[in-house]
Amino acid sequence: MRDPDALIARAGVRGDPDRDQHFLVDDRVLDRLPTYLEEVDADSSHLLEIGGGTGALTDRLLALAGENGEVTVVERDRDLAAFLREEFADAIDAGRLTVIEGDALEVDLPDFTASISNLPYGVSSEISFRLLPEGKPLVLMFQQEFAERMVAEPGTSEYGRLSVSTQHYADAELVETIPKEAFSPPPAVESAVVRLRPRDPEYEVANEEFFLRFVKALFTQRRKTIRNAIRNTAHISGLAEPEAVVDAADEEILRKRADAMAPAEFAALAELALEESGLEE
């Protein structure tokens, strides 16, 4: 495997915290990341990496994909994208690697089978919710606080809109905490790796867009009861008749607060809200 410090030296770059660039340089962490996909027998025939940097993880993903597999890397930095094309020219020529220069929120993504990525932390949420609806296994690195919120259970202080939205798409598991020293330059906070295994939720929602918006609305009033949160957030949820929803909902639910509501309870309440109130035009 290529040495991460040597890659940085060959690229002639330094990580720039102002541009959300923190290169993962700990060989042990880099070697462990692919194993989190292997443990769940994920299809590694076409791996997607968001934020290739200088290619230390890219190198390991090529090994995981194997001689007949493929890796696609999305890198927004023009100089780093050019370096990746030079450093991995043999893999590109063999059709095993594609480097896409651009913003991961804007470029067309390939039909990948799984993703392992050290995401730019400033856009972690946006990228995650572009990947999660694809229904593919993901191993993603985040700021530790963000990761803990993704995997949080109802009734905990970390539980919130991010927890419900993430767990709507996948089983989320925090598999490793990464110290600051594993990066160059070290970020201000520790990081964590989350493994996301896609599955259908245990509930059904007729309108996924409304369900996610409804969850967002109620969590803006997380210290209020659900009764008051429904009334106070119609401008966010789009409910035309919030009082009709309150009248129809179960009293036990109305007395709860958002951080005590399981995802299935949010789903049932969202379905009731659609039936009783409808959406604003």
Write out the binding residues. 22, 24, 51, 75, 103, 118
CB 260 within 8 A of CB 154: yes
Alpha-carbon dihedral sign for residues 156, 159, 160, 161: negative
Q: Which secondary structure element, helix H or strand E, spans residue 59, and what is its range?
A: helix 56-65
- Six-digit token pair at 250? 């179960």
**Rounded Cα–Cα distance for residues 187 and 158 (Å):** 22
Of the candidates 265, 275, 277, 136, the residue with the CA atom closest to the CA atom of residue 203: 265
- Partnered with residue 57 across adjacent β-strands are none
Instruction: Tell me the binding residues for S-adenosyl-L-methionine.
Output: 22, 24, 51, 75, 103, 118
Q: Are 101 and 81 in contact (CB under 8 A)?
A: yes
Closest-CA residue to 136 (of 206, 64, 197, 225): 197
Q: Is the separation of the CB atoms in 49 and 117 below 8 Å?
A: yes
For the sheet with 191-198, list strands across it: 97-101, 70-75, 46-50, 114-118, 138-143, 191-198, 170-178
